[in-house]
Structure 1
Amino acid sequence: MAQRRITNPALFVCDLQEKFRPAIHEFPKVVATTRKLLKASQILNFPVFATTQNKARLGETCPELGLDSAGDVKTVVHADKTLFSMLTPEVRQAIAAQNTRLSCVIVGIESHICVTQTALDLLEEGHKVYVIADGVSSCNPEEVPIALARLRSEGVVVTTSESFLYECMGDASIPEFKQIIKVVTETKQATKESLQTLCKI
């Protein structure tokens, strides 16, 4: 029987709040990539960890992600924070409850602040860390390649959403393959646009 190449993936959705939409470079592209990975997380049944940054002041997560609606995406934890890193005590407890080292895939904002600090903390805790280049951004686009270069040097795998999904599966004979291919096909144009705008380097 076929086995997945990555057996313990987990999706980390960092601070994708509606109030940031006007400020973040190509914010809708980050949301589109995140939606694709959220769909895949439901098919492949891997956990989702999400955060908001100071929700009382900066508001809720973008509604199209379905993270705040009952019956939509099931999150292990959706925590509010003032920390820049996603690894609040609540998130750390939820990670520990998984009882394994995770392959953590991070999307969200901002690349050089919350995404960077989350990635570094997860590495320090002994997890494998992937940052999705077509799923992260910052207010100033010039910050992004500098942050990704630093993260690569620290041991983070910088990759794309499609590459991660195929690596996650590893084998076209796994039962979920056709469902994931449907997601990839349905999001083909959005993926192309995200790559063109967020992955110019």
Structure 2
Amino acid sequence: MRVTSKQSLLLIVDLQAGLLPVINGGDQAVAEAAWLGGIAGTLGVPVWVTEQYPQGLGGSEPRLLEALPGHRLWRKVHFNAHAEPDFAAALEASGKRQIVLCGSEAHICVLQTGLGLLEAGYEVYWLSEATVSRRAEEARLARERMIRAGATPVSADMVAYEWLERCDEEPFRQVHRRYLKPRSARPLRFF
């Protein structure tokens, strides 16, 4: 199944300033989420950001929020964002059925949110290089479990080009000028 800009929502879970210093690959996750979030904003794909216990873990990473001027912020107490009644109702009302999911910690909040979304009938696309945990092994296990549960692993490039679909229209030119020119080499992490 292809990811389409009309059916997608980018959900960034708990990339919070107080947590990121202890997260393996946290800087890369922020960079990838911000990059794809910028493209989403240009193409009209909604970007939602969650925060868990911000009074203790800090708010979302400022570099991320700077790249996402049109995002919607959700504060949550459940590890599974979809268990928050307002979140679930707003997601249903959005009509979006494809959720591109990333964030921290992969094995706790991202995993539980992904499982909740799958249980509710959404297609979940696990953004591998932007989904991280304190320990790489935990992120790898979470990814494997999500795939077994029915999620599809994707990279930011895969999603961006599927959203764009073609290179001969203005959306591609806008995104290409701002985001798709050769980026600095980023090591891909698939766990």
TM-score norm. by structure 2 comes to 0.90
Question: Which of 148, 157, 172 is the aligned partner of 2:167?
Answer: 172
Identity of aligned residues (%): 27
RMSD across aligned C-alpha pairs, in angstroms? 1.9
With a CA cutoff of 8 Å and minimum separation of 6, indicate the structure with the bigger relative contact order.
Answer: 1
Partner AA of 1:74 in structure 2? G
The answer as to 2:45 corresponding to 1:46 is: yes
Structure 1: any 5+ residue segments left out of the alignment?
none
Whole-angstrom CA distance in 2 between matches of 1:6 and 1:127: 15
TM-score (norm 1): 0.86
Quote the Cα distance in structure 2 between the aligned partners of 1:176 and 1:101.
20
Question: How many residues are treated as equivalent by the alignment?
Answer: 187
Q: CA deviation at 1:14?
A: 0.3
Question: AA paired with 2:137?
Answer: E
Q: Is the 8 A contact 2:19 2:58 kept in 1?
A: no
Which residue of 106, 109, 120 corresponds with 2:104? 109
1:96 Cα deviation from its structure 2 partner: 2.1
> How has the CA–CA distance of structure 1 residues 101 and 41 changed in structure 2, closer, same or farther, with 3 Å as cutoff?
closer
Matching residue's letter, 2:168: S
Counterpart Cα distance in 1 of 2:168 and 2:4:
12
Secondary structure at 2:116 match in 1: helix
Corresponding position of 1:97: 93
**1:105-144 correspondence to structure 2 within 5 Å:** 105-144=100-139
Once the two structures are superposed, the pairs formed by residues 8-157 of structure 1 within 5 Å of their partners are 8-66=7-65, 73-75=69-71, 77-87=72-82, 88-98=84-94, 100-157=95-152
- Residue 6 of structure 1: how far off its partner (Å): 4.4
Match of residue 160 from structure 1:
155
Letter paired with 1:170: E
Partners of 1:101 and 1:66 lie apart in 2 by 22
Per-residue CA shift, 1:37-63, capped at 9, x if unaligned?
110111110111111111122111111
Q: 2:166 aligns to what SS in structure 1?
A: coil
Measured after TM superposition, the shift of residue 112 of structure 1 is 1.1
Residue in 2 that maps onto 1:185: 181
